[in-house]
Amino acid sequence: MVSLAGGMPNIADLPREAIGAAISKLIAENGVQAMQYGSGQGEPFMRDKITEVMAEEQIAAHADDIVITCGSQQGLDLVTRVFCDPGDVILAEAPSYVGALGTFHANQCEVVHVAMDEHGIVPQMLRHAVHTLRAAGRKVKFLYTIPNFQNPTGVSQTLERRRELVALAHEVDLLILEDNPYGLLTLDEQPLPALRALDAEKVVYLGSFSKTFAPGFRVGWVLAPHAVREKLVLTQESATLCPPVFSQFAIAKYLDEFDWRGQILVFRDMYRARRDAMLEALPEHMPAGSQWTHPRGGFFVWLTLPEGLDSQAMLPRAVTARVAYTPGTAFYADGLGSRNMRLSFCFPTPERIIEGVKRLGEVIKAELVTRATFGIDVTPAQPIRRDLTVGPAPDVN
Ligand code: PMP
């Protein structure tokens, strides 16, 4: 089986022996503190280090405004709990990260998607959504957005689009929740400034060590304006007492004693080879009528099938052909996305990616033959969004 489905980072290139030795030393020298309860906001030395990491994306922040979380996933949950009541609306890109959609639903919020183009979420559509929802008496609590190498599309906001979005946040008085786990995994250019680097007032920022170091430590963070930060700490304490203390000691040691910036360059080279393998294999193996995005970083390509095909219905046939992907419907709160799939290039080797794309191409071609032969239209009768899913966007395919 070649799995192009999961989003697991490939951490095999980490210097594991040296990290193991450093952790042994940590236990010998600081074990009593490292294995003890800690601060609900997160350890001060860890928060200081995080300001250095965020400076790579031009964010100037104070360690006091950071709350450490159990991965950015917990950050999503804490922010939602602090801001939202049941029935509130959260705006999100169409499509958006499945884990965030789950958190928003668990907190009984309604997700309303806003169309994207090849530069990210479309400001005019965002303005329209905010006005329409408010006119209908709905409470719109924030825009959830992933500006860099978005999960699942791989699309990034240009600098101009970022500026437009923060200006719009002021114009319509809307909070932005910026989720940025992939920003440093840029493959073709230097990182662009985060939304939070452009505006400290309207942006709550989520960061994570899961993709730049390792997800098993479960350390992420929220950077929020002071008043919000205090509420986040209380919510964090009620959920976990404190974020994982041992992990914070281990990560701080890693950042102090290892060349973590150099390690990110190693990760970039490894992911670039995988991304390039996928983007070179797709035109060779996909039938006419397929489209896909060209990510400049991160883990994901978003593929649109030829008209009439359904990625969910096709999945069992793909698995029989020993290739897996994530159907597009997972990334929409409103059931759209049946013509789409997310392909991850992060985990398999380039050779396996090429083999996986070849198998997938064969499955799609067979599906087209079945459809032509039996006249079966396997796409459910529902509208297809005129955003990334269709249309002649210059950067798509
Ligand atoms: N946000 C996005 C966009 C993600 O892709 C992920 C992981 N797949 C997360 C948040 C959660 O990451 P973690 O909790 O490991 O920091």
The order of strands in the sheet holding 300-304 is: 291-292, 300-304, 340-344, 326-327
Tell me the three state secondary structure of residue 87. Answer: coil
Distance 73 CA to ligand 1 centre (A): 6
Distance 285 CA to ligand 1 centre (A): 30
Structure-block tokens of residue 299: 């883990």
**Atom from ligand 1 closest to the CA of residue 75:** 14
Q: Which domains does the chain have, with CATH numbers?
A: 2-9+262-390 (3.90.1150.10), 16-257 (3.40.640.10)
Q: Look at residue 374 in the predicted model and tell me its pLDDT.
A: 82
Which of 77, 79, 179 has the most ligand 1 atoms within 8 A of CB, as the residue to mutate?
179
> pLDDT digits over 215-254, tens only?
999 999 999 999 999 999 999 999 999 999 999 999 999 9
Taking each helix axis from N to C end, the angle separating 260-285 and 350-374, rounded to the nearest 10 degrees, works out to 30
Which DSSP string corresponds to 15-38? -HHHHHHHHHHHHHHHHHHHTS--
Q: For ligand 1, atom 5, name the residue with the nearest CA.
A: 151
Q: Look at residue 384 in the predicted model and tell me its pLDDT.
A: 42
**Atom from ligand 1 closest to the CA of residue 208:** 16
Q: How confident is the model at residue 213 (pLDDT cuts 50, 70, 90)?
A: very high
> pLDDT digits over 284-305, tens only?
999 999 999 999 999 999 999 9
Q: How many CA atoms lie within 13 A of 224 on its CB side?
A: 25
Q: Where would I find the H helices in 114-158?
A: 123-135
Which DSSP string corresponds to 289-319? T-EEB--SBSSEEEEEPPTT--HHHHHHHHH
CB 341 within 8 A of CB 290: no
Is the model's pLDDT at 14 over the cut of 50? yes
Cα distance between residue 298 and residue 373, in whole Å? 39
